[in-house]
Amino acid sequence: MKHTVIALALMSSATAFAADYTIDETHSAATFLISHLGFAKMPGRFNEMSGSYSHSDDFSSVELSVTVNAASVDTNHGKRDEHLRSPDFFDARQYPELTFVSTNYDGNAEGGTLTGDLTMMGVTQPVQFDVVIEGEGDDPWGNYRQGLTASTRLDRTAFGMNYGTPGIPAEFDVTVYIEGVRK
């Protein structure tokens, strides 16, 4: 009986999360960088994202969930942003959200690889993000914060976004900057 209790305690501590965070929307950003006709790189971002994440003390397990408002796409050019919201690209009216839900983390408290399911335009594909834990600590307002950066390269045609290829490349870089506030 004693061994069973110890085994159950060890099993539950292995999956228990030491820290739960809410993503601070005002200090986080989902960004992208894509080539424009092979002449230059064009940056963009989504101005509205939310979510949460949890991790174990040793970062042997991480759970992360992010939701991005597709209509909040911003490339600092109104007509282009309008076109990006159209069915040619993100089709924000029919698919108002992009979501990512993690399924695995292979790494430690400094960083690693976060695998999960990204849903864009109603299509879900597995993706991997390279993650760097930027830092953590108390803020001046009595909260505990943690920052991380996650980056990957995506193929937009895998999600059904085929407009303009090959002039507008299928592949583009995504970087998500997250600042979490411990719950």
Domain boundaries defined on the chain: 17-182
Condensed to tens digits (0 to 9), the pLDDT of residues 5-56 reads 333 333 444 445 689 999 999 999 999 999 888 788 999 999 999 999 999 9
Query: Per-residue pLDDT averaged across 124-152, rounded?
Result: 97
Q: CA-CA distances (angstroms) from residue 70 to 82, 90, 150? A: 11, 7, 19
Backbone angles phi, psi at 138, to 5 degrees: -75, 140
Cα 171 to Cα 129: distance, rounded to the nearest angstrom: 15
| pLDDT the model gives residue 17 | 67
What single-letter DSSP state applies at residue 56? -
Q: Is the pTM of this model over 0.75?
A: yes
Do 127 and 152 contact (CB within 8 A), yes or no? yes
For 22, the 3-state DSSP assignment is strand
Give per-residue pLDDT as tens, 59-104.
Answer: 889 999 999 999 999 999 999 999 999 999 999 999 999 999 999 9
- Distance CA(106)–CA(113), nearest Å, equals 5
Q: CA 146 to CA 134: how far, in whole Å?
A: 7
Predicted local confidence at residue 16, as pLDDT: 59
Q: What is the pLDDT of residue 37?
A: 80
Class of domain 17-182: mainly beta
Dump pLDDT digits (tens) for 94-134. Answer: 999 999 999 999 999 999 999 999 999 999 999 999 999 99
